[in-house]
Amino acid sequence: MRNKQIFLISFIIYLCTISSVRAGEYHLLPEPQKFTPLGSSFVLGRTKLSTPVLRQEWEAFVVDRGGVIDDKARASIEVKLVPSLEEVPLNADEAYRLVVNNGKVTVEAVTEHGVYWAMQTLAQLQDVQKKKATFNGCSIVDWPAFRIRGFMQDVGRTYMSIEELKREIAVLSRFKINVFHWHLTENQSWRLQSKIFPMLNDSVNTTRMPGKYYTLEEAKDLVAFCKAHNILLIPEFDMPGHSEAFVRTFRHDMQSPEGMKILKLLVDEVCETFDVPYLHIGTDEVRFTNPKFVPEMVEYVRAKGKKVISWNPGWHYKPGEIDMTHLWSYRGKAQKGIPAIDSKFHYLNHFDTFGDIIALYNSRIYNVEQGSDDIAGTILAIWNDRYVANERNIILENNFYPNMLAIAERAWKGGGTEYFDKNGTILPSEDSPEFKEFADFENRMLWHKEHTFKGYPFAYVKQTNVKWNITDAFPNGGDLNKVFPPEQELKDSYLYEGKEYGVHPAIGAGIDRPFLFIGRTEKVI
């Protein structure tokens, strides 16, 4: 009996181990909530397709991979919309069940959104080593921990082409990113065309990249492109701050009676252009001189059928006075009764290429395990404060794609070990669960760098194999030419002038460097 118990325990451990290993081998990103490998696989050839939604997308999926749609084929892809999915605790509208087996792929979802995410997972299951499209067998039940998982491009400061934005949206949708935040206005420029006030886009009123703005037709086209990729576009028109381009054009502050009249006409144009549920109105980093401005503008936008998002810190709202807040800086705080997006520390421009991705991956979004009515999710922001002319360099220098993959997994999977403002930039010891989890993510990310992101600016190389020995700081007495024992011999510790100096192991490419300050000098070890 005891041997049977031992065998059963061992078998369970084996199954758990093999499941996690195989999930990593499948290179799935984000990692599904529940994953079970199956011994068989699905080979795409002549395939019967049955689906109530996304018919064209599924047909393209099959044909692009060398398959043929055939109603008489034995092999099949079957998509079903179901009232509910067992085992799914939240965000059921984006959840799905995917079973890949010999001769059949089955997808179950509550909505079209879940079907779309199932398709992206299925695409990642394709074995790229085989000439004929083959999909590794498995059973998956999956759902997002947070309902908003997005990125922001600040094009108000630095224009980025529609082609580049589409490129980002298309590839990130493959990793279940579902929001694109379009920051369209700034002190430097008003980047959306106005047919009512064409002078708003005139070069004389633009201080950076004059003549660069988006036509209303381009905006409408980008909305449609986002919808086709299961992405929600959130346009932002910052008011009443960050509005020097507006003031240069009209010679009126937004908070003045004349400014508000003009702004309402612009809101009319914006709401007509953007077929989206939300409009982001900013309200950050400004002195409010008109206490009626924000309530009146919120009411006006809502009357146009849009929900309103506002930065926090910014205007002080009570529940019911705003539809969602967007937290920025360490002072941003969620309020009960108002859904919040966490971008407090999520500014890619401030990140270290190798250090901060560890913190980002480990971070608990708003320090919670999963989303709720009050915590909607997160958006990573590129604030293009410094002018970089080449848009490829913007993506490259901000380490955009690696960081987006880190947040794609964390926002979908939930969890994390600590909040971003802790010590998460340092990799823990190799035997820790945190290290193993990040190393697994890194391996999957690098696989996608080679396969999915080939030709994209992707500034990341493996760092979990980089090891350092960092010594305590030796006193140089102000003499920068002094030579110390570590320069002569590598040891586990050093005795220097009667004092012992330790050696501390570290892993990764982004590590803290200890400093010793003596008077007005410092030595970096």
Does the pLDDT value for residue 184 go beyond 80?
yes
pLDDT-based confidence at 512, cuts 50/70/90?
Answer: low
Is a pLDDT exceeding 70 seen at residue 515?
no
pLDDT in tens, 455-475: 999 999 999 999 888 899 999
Containing H/E element for 265? helix 257-273
CA 378 distance to own-chain centroid: 7
User: What is the structure's pLDDT at 447?
Assistant: 97
Radius of gyration of the chain (CA): 26
Compute φ and ψ for 236, nearest 5 degrees. Answer: -120, 130
Evaluate the CA torsion angle 147, 121, 398, 468 in order and state its sign: positive
Mean pLDDT computed over 61-68: 97
**For residue 426, what pLDDT band results from cuts at 50, 70 and 90?**
confident
CA proximity to 192, closest of 82, 270, 114, 285: 270
Least confident of 3-12, 21-30, 80-89, 273-282: 3-12
Fold of 148-427: TIM Barrel (3.20.20)
In the structure encoding, which two tokens stand for residue 140, read together?
């998956």
117-131, 191-205, 237-251, 252-266, range with the lowest pLDDT: 117-131
Measured distance CA(357)–CA(352) in Å, rounded: 8
Element (H, E) at 331: none
How far is Cα 35 from Cα 399, in angstroms, rounded to an integer?
30
Cα separation values, 525 from 89, 140, 494, Å:
50, 48, 14
Q: Name the average pLDDT for the chain.
A: 92
DSSP-assigned states of every residue in 420-453: TTSSTTS---TTSHHHHHHHHHHHHHHHHHHHTT
Candidates 2.60.130.10, 3.30.379.10, 2.40.40.20, 3.40.50.2300; correct CATH number of 2-142? 3.30.379.10
Residue 521 in this model has a pLDDT that exceeds 60: no
**pLDDT at 517 > cutoff 60:** no
3 state SS of 460:
coil
Looking at residue 488, the DSSP 8-state letter turns out to be T
% of the chain exceeding 90 in pLDDT = 84
pLDDT confidence of residue 424: 74
Q: What residue spans in the chain does CATH classification 3.20.20.80 cover?
A: 148-427
Question: DSSP code of 320?
Answer: T
Alpha carbon distance 37, 17 (integer Å): 11
Which position has the higher pLDDT, 11 or 140?
140
Handedness of CA 20, 21, 22, 25 (dihedral sign): positive
Are the CB atoms for 413 and 446 separated by under 8 Å? no
Indicate if the pLDDT at residue 5 is higher than 80: no
Beta carbons within 8 Å of 20's beta carbon, 6+ residues apart: none
Specify the DSSP class assigned to residue 160. Answer: -
Residue 420 or residue 516, greater confidence = 420
Give CA–CA dist 83/98, Å, rounded. 16
- What pLDDT is stored for residue 24 in this prediction? 52
| Per-residue pLDDT, 455 | 95
Q: Are 173 and 229 in contact (CB under 8 A)?
A: yes
Q: Reduce the DSSP state of residue 51 to 3 states and report it.
A: coil
**pLDDT value at residue 492:** 92
* Element counts in the chain: helices (H) and strands (E): 12, 20
Look at residue 525 and tell me whether its pLDDT is greater than 70: no
Number of alpha carbons in the 13 Å side-chain half-sphere of residue 125: 32
State the average pLDDT over residues 378-396. 94
Q: Is 514 a residue whose pLDDT tops 60?
A: no
The reported pLDDT for the residue numbered 511 is 63
Does residue 127 contact residue 144 with C-beta atoms inside 8 Å? no
Mean pLDDT of 386-391: 92
Residues of the chain with CATH 3.30.379.10: 2-142
Residue with the bigger pLDDT between 355 and 145: it is 145
pLDDT digits (tens, 9 = 90+) for 213-240: 999 999 999 999 999 999 999 999 999 9
pLDDT of residue 277: 98
Mean pLDDT of 191-195: 98
| pLDDT in the model for residue 425 | 80
How would residue 428 be classed by pLDDT, with cut points 50, 70 and 90?
Answer: confident
Report yes or no: 181 and 151 within 8 Å, Cβ to Cβ. Answer: yes
Q: Does residue 3 surpass a pLDDT of 90?
A: no
Query: Could you tell me the pLDDT band of residue 22, with boundaries at 50, 70 and 90?
Result: very low
Q: Say which residue, 439 or 8, is predicted with more confidence.
A: 439
* Per-residue model confidence as pLDDT tens digits over 348-376: 988 888 889 999 999 999 999 999 999 99
Q: What percent of the chain has pLDDT over 70?
A: 92
Token pair for residue 515?
A: 């400093």
Strands (DSSP E) along 9-133, which ranges?
A: 34-43, 46-50, 68-69, 76-81, 96-101, 104-109
- The model's pTM is 0.91
Closest CA to 384 of 220, 242, 218: 242
Taking Cα atoms as reference points, which of 248, 263, 272 lies closest to residue 293? 263
**Rounded-to-integer distance, Cα 252 and Cα 151, Å:** 32
